[in-house]
Amino acid sequence: MAVVTVGVPAESAAGERRVALDPGAAAKLVKAGRVVLVEGGAGVAACFPDAAYTAAGATVTSRKEVLARSEVIAVVRFPDDGLVDDLRSGQLVIGLLDPLNHLATLEKLADRGVTAVAFELLPRTLSRAQSMDALSSQASAAGYRAAIVAAEAFGRYLPMMITASGTATPAKVIVIGTGVAGLQAIATTRRLGAVVTGYDVRAASRREVESLGAKFLTSSVSEGAGTGGYARALTDDEQKIEQSELAAALTSFDVIITTAKVPGRTPPVLVSAETVAALRCGSVCVDLGSSDRGGNVANSVEGLSTVTDGGVIVIGAGELASDLPTSSSQMYARNVVAVIASLVPADEIVVDPTDEVHRNIIVSHRGEVTSKAVREALKLDPVPSPKDSDAEAAEVNAS
């Protein structure tokens, strides 16, 4: 049987500097018996030259050749139109596909027989899925980078500084949302010497926040934890209460970092326009929840840094992991390798609908949309469970 070929095209999204496989991950795949094809220049922005891939045993070639010869295509962001048009039946594409924002295109790929795998749908609380958790790996990079971006934009010292000219008081930082990105932002701003507070509607987050040396602030909103310990979506009334409570607290902070990113949905506004207007001149808001659908901070614009009339700096930073391209790519590549090991254990793609990871992470397979979440968004009937299918087959055989 033919050896499975894994292809890595260059990313085309504006400002995207990551690559789906670094040379180290490519070497692992080659050692495992795969063929790896990399588009020329795909890793350059992440400081992985073509020569490094060649040394790892991969073949550097044209985009056309990568797409024509590969059974598995690894990407970071959703493929551009040209790549989508070139995908064919039997190929598997893996990436941060943001499926709920690309419903029509994914339905077309399903009709064409493409197997699409979206990291966003991974059941992240399964211990065996942790090595595949690209959302967490990229959130960690984004949280770290958010602290650096905030420090760069802030016009004062973050730590307390004692100098011959006097003492500078430390900056006060609040990180809203204490998931992976939030905890990394807390840890990094603490290392930089700021006085840090972590805010979360999940009271259970207190221990993690305080273990990093930060203060903990929560809401009066009852139990904000959702499935698996992640924050759930708040009701409209709960959001109003949360905004009101936050507004009273936020004006005492110099730096605000928000982390409530919701794939496929409009992010909640946590810092209202009125609150932004009440912040001191020179305050910085770094919005990791920013997207083309809005952000956690009123009037933040994804990818841009704006200054309000009151001198508040608002930074739309929804794709901040790309600002740390080398480390982000290395972590992401490990996630890709783990998914390939699960879905392509030997020389063919093997999808097990009874496997919880496969059942959730796969958007389409064998000509139809298989993801429950995506089917619901497309208003399609549910896919029969494996048990239902077996029972139906038994009835047919019996008749």
3-state secondary structure of 203: helix
**Catalytic residue status for 136:** yes
Choosing from 91, 136, 138, 342, the catalytic residue is 136
Pairing of strands 362-365, 368-369: antiparallel
Residues 148, 152, 153: CA angle, nearest 5 degrees: 120
Specify the amino acid at residue 342: S
Check residue 116 and give left, alpha or beta (phi > 0: left; psi -120 to 50: alpha). Answer: beta
CA distance 176 to 289: 11
**Catalytic residue status for 130:** yes
3-state secondary structure of 9: coil
Q: Distance between alpha carbon 167 and the CA centroid of its chain, in Å?
A: 40
- Residue linked to tokens 């030259």: 49
**Catalytic residue status for 127:** no
Torsion 109-34-5-346 (CA) sign: negative
Tokens of 205: 């987050």
Choosing from 130, 131, 239, 305, the catalytic residue is 130
CA distance 163 to 186: 26
Choosing from 17, 63, 124, 145, the catalytic residue is 124
Strands, sheet with 172-176, edge to edge from the N-terminal-most edge strand? 215-217, 195-199, 172-176, 255-258, 284-287, 313-316, 305-307
DSSP 8-class letter at 228? G
**Catalytic residue status for 80:** no
Choosing from 50, 133, 254, 287, the catalytic residue is 133
**Catalytic residue status for 230:** yes
Tokens of 280: 């001191």
Inter-CA distances, 228 with 36, 45, 127, 326, Å? 36, 36, 12, 30
Strand ranges (DSSP E) for the chain?
5-8, 35-39, 59-61, 72-74, 92-95, 115-118, 161-163, 166-168, 172-176, 195-199, 215-217, 255-258, 284-287, 305-307, 313-316, 362-365, 368-369
Choosing from 80, 111, 230, 244, the catalytic residue is 230
Best CA proximity match to 57, nearest among 91, 94, 20, 32: 32
Contact 255, 185 (CB under 8 A): no
Check residue 313 and give left, alpha or beta (phi > 0: left; psi -120 to 50: alpha). Answer: beta
Residues marked active site are found at: 124, 130, 133, 136, 230
